[in-house]
Amino acid sequence: MFKNAARPKAYLIIWLMLHKKLPTTDRLTKWGMVVSKRCVMCQNEEETIEHLVINCHFAIRLWSRLLKWVHQLDMLPTNWEQFMHWSIQHAKGKTISAHIFKIIMAECVYEIWIERNNRIFVQKSRTVESVAKEIAYVSIIRSQPSILDEYTF
């Protein structure tokens, strides 16, 4: 994920995610905090980093929408090891595809985290489509000019 043109705050969140340091409810309860363990995004399972970024229904739909946009319609990872391998596979190299994937990955993880926090602390939520459009706009703006010709949302 090095040499990523994503926003610095997105880059920070993805660094925390990759090092499993995001304060998800499973980690907060280990620290002794009393919080609901349910994922605020889908209300189906316990919130962990893996669930929030990979297995949550909101995340799955968001990843699918973004990957369709960049014409990378492969199977989405279903566990942490697959996610790491999938990320490395798509982010390596200096191709336009790798460049845009790195931005989208960082921005997607960041927006999932922001959406989660907004639902908890502000009681506001957005649709998958509106989050996907925001990620697309930010990704295009932060990309190299040559990439603008390749992708439209």
The span from the CA of 100 to the CA of 102, in Å, is 5
59-63, 69-73, 87-91: which range is least confident on average?
Answer: 69-73
Give mean pLDDT, residues 63-87.
87
In tens, the pLDDT along 2-35 reads 568 888 999 899 999 999 999 999 999 999 888 8
Whether this model's pTM surpasses 0.85: yes
Question: What is 105-134 written as a DSSP string?
Answer: HHHHHHHHHHHHHIIIII-----HHHHHHH
